[in-house]
Amino acid sequence: VVAGRLAATPADWVDAACGQWQTLLIDHAYCEKKAASTALALVFAYPEQQEQNLALARLAREELRHYEQVTRMMQRLAVPFQRLRPGRYAGALRAALRTHEPLRRLDLMLCGAIIEARSCERFRLLAPRLAAPLGEFYAELERAEARHEGLYWGLALEAAGEGGSSACERRLDELLVIESALATAPDPLFRFHSGSPAGPAGSPVRGSDSNS
Ligand SMILES: [Fe+2]
Ligand SMILES: [Fe+2]
């Protein structure tokens, strides 16, 4: 549902990612860790939702396993760990979520579905462009992210309740307007979920990281 409505990732982001695959990998490790912690935070936020929490606990374990795999991949490819400040994507998206229940729960699940769908799209674009073993690894992760998108979308429909599917789709479209801008508009900081690579003056910043 979500994947078909995403704005396409700009081709220059894919080029930049292939050129800066080490930075991509370091940020990717952070994303997997964050995905696990977000799933776990949802278990804490809605303790009464047992079925939802069984699915989220399982997801948290899978994301944590991805984190382990990415970290091993960094070691295998001799990519040194480096602290990176986060990009604008996740924070800006979360800032758009409603703060009152039951709407917050719906928005959180939609946000999960959107991030998983975007990750899935980017792994699909990257997999054929990256050399082994990274290309194959990303092809595997693309399939996992497609599953996760479906999981969060199902949880969003449940959160919307009986007859809430059209409200769910309307809200999805609203959040996607924000997400598309984040994923495509010029972004000075290259990250896994960043927009079109551009410096403040619109100049490409490929091959460098403006991080301190
Ligand atoms: Fe993952
Ligand atoms: Fe995921």
pLDDT in tens, 117-154: 999 999 999 999 999 999 999 999 999 999 999 999 99
Closest ligand by atom to 30 CA: 1
Residue 124 Cα to ligand 2 midpoint, Å, equals: 14
Please list the residues that pair with 197 across neighbouring strands: 187
pLDDT in tens, 24-62: 999 999 999 999 999 999 999 999 999 999 999 999 999
Closest ligand by atom to 68 CA: 1
What band does 198 get if pLDDT is binned at 50, 70 and 90? confident
pLDDT in tens, 11-25: 999 999 999 999 999
Q: How many residues does the chain have?
A: 212
Residues with CB under 5 Å of ion ligand 1 are: 32, 63, 66
What 3-state DSSP class applies to 142? helix
Residue 202 Cα to ligand 2 midpoint, Å, equals: 31
For 208, residues 6+ apart whose C-beta sits below 8 A from its C-beta are none
